[in-house]
């Protein structure tokens, strides 16, 4: 294998690692925001459920007051029945009594519905609280690791850039220029193995003479079709 190809393969690996680090700059903040959002949503569910529970309990107390008032009205009307003197008074009072009884029945039904709602909300609040507590605890460690990883990205990039520089100085300038041009134009990989006498990237068949030159490793060979550098990773077997 030609020395330049050996160095380009190392360079290609470093460039792929740098590309992944650049990608992490994009996806890590998104992951961090999603983790935070999950905890925030759980906390909001606790808050909204508690608010609904407080409102239901307030409604229960108001209904109980309304029931007491209606029952007091009914008791007063029933006492008045003993002192009425005319049929007109009797009919009017009877109507009031029936209306009040209907009102009492309606309030009692509302109280039952509200008590059921309170039971459901009490259970929901307990479950929401447990979920929030679990998420807050587990996501705290995850957030710590993600933020630490995010902070280390630039350091990793710096290290890889130093590695890249140390490699590029070992490659001839003309070969490096071709590598950079192909990488910008076609992306990775730039150095590809020959498989079944064809370019491993574009699958263009390579003439036997070129395969022989690759085996000798005396010169840098590129694919006439896609411009990528060719190599035989496992010796003669890759060219067969």
Q: Is residue 74 part of a domain?
A: yes
Q: Tally Cβ neighbours within 10 Å of residue 154.
A: 11
What's the confidence (pLDDT) of residue 69? 97
Is residue 188 domain-shared with residue 112, that is, in the same domain?
A: no
Q: Which two tokens stand for residue 142?
A: 């995850």
Query: Peptide bond preceding 189: is omega within 30 degrees of 0, i.e. cis?
Result: yes
Phi, then psi, of 195 in degrees rounded to 5: -125, 125
The answer to whether residues 228 and 182 touch, using CB atoms and an 8 Å cutoff, is: yes
pLDDT digits (tens, 9 = 90+) for 188-207: 899 999 999 999 999 999 99
Q: Are residues 66 and 114 in the same domain?
A: yes
CA distance 239 to 193: 9
Residue 219 φ then ψ, to 5°: -145, 160
Per the structure block, which two tokens stand in for 151? 């902070």
Same domain as 161, residue 177: no
Pairing of strands 191-195, 198-199: antiparallel
Alpha helix segments (H runs only) across the chain: 3-80, 87-168, 173-186, 208-216, 236-239
pTM of the model: 0.55
Full domain range(s) for residue 71: 20-168
Going by pLDDT thresholds of 50, 70 and 90, the confidence category of residue 145 is: confident
79 and 152 in a single domain? The answer is: yes
80-108 residue pLDDT tens:
998 888 999 999 999 999 999 999 999 99
Q: Is 151 inside any structural domain?
A: yes
| Interatomic CA distance for residues 94 and 77, integer angstroms | 8
Q: 141 and 194 share a domain? A: no
Per-residue model confidence (pLDDT) at position 234? 60
Q: Per the structure block, which two tokens stand in for 195? A: 């498989």
Q: Tell me how far apart the alpha carbons of residues 79 and 185 are, in angstroms, rounded to a whole number.
A: 99
Based on the domain organization, do 197 and 160 belong to the same domain? no
Measured CA to CA, the distance from residue 169 to residue 124 in angstroms comes to 65
Out of 142, 168, 194, pick the residue that ends a domain: 168
Same domain assignment for residues 159 and 189: no
Count of structural domains, the chain: 2
Instruction: Count the Cβ atoms, other than its own, within 10 Å of residue 44.
Output: 12
């Amino acid at each position: 294998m030609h020395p330049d190809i050996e160095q380009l393969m190392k360079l290609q690996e470093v460039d792929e690692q740098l590309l992944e680090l650049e990608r992490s700059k994009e996806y890590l903040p998104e992951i961090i925001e999603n983790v935070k959002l999950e905890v925030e949503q759980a906390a909001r569910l606790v808050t909204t459920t508690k608010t609904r529970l407080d409102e239901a309990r307030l409604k229960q107390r108001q209904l109980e007051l309304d029931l007491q008032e209606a029952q007091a009205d009914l008791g007063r009307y029933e006492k008045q029945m003993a002192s009425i003197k005319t049929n007109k008074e009797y009919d009017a009072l009877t109507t009031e009594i029936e209306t009040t009884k209907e009102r009492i029945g309606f309030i009692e039904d509302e109280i039952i519905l509200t008590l059921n709602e309170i039971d459901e909300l009490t259970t929901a609040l307990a479950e929401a609280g447990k979920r929030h507590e679990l998420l807050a605890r587990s996501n705290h460690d995850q957030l710590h690791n993600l933020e630490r990883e995010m902070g280390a990205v630039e350091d990793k990039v710096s290290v890889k850039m130093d590695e890249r520089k140390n490699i590029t100085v070992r490659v001839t300038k003309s070969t490096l220029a071709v590598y950079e041009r192909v990488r910008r134009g076609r992306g990775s990989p730039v150095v590809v193995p020959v498989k079944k006498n064809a370019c491993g990237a574009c699958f263009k068949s390579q003439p036997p003479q070129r395969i022989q030159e690759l085996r000798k490793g005396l010169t840098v060979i590129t694919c006439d079709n896609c411009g990528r550098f060719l190599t035989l990773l496992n010796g003669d077997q890759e060219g067969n």
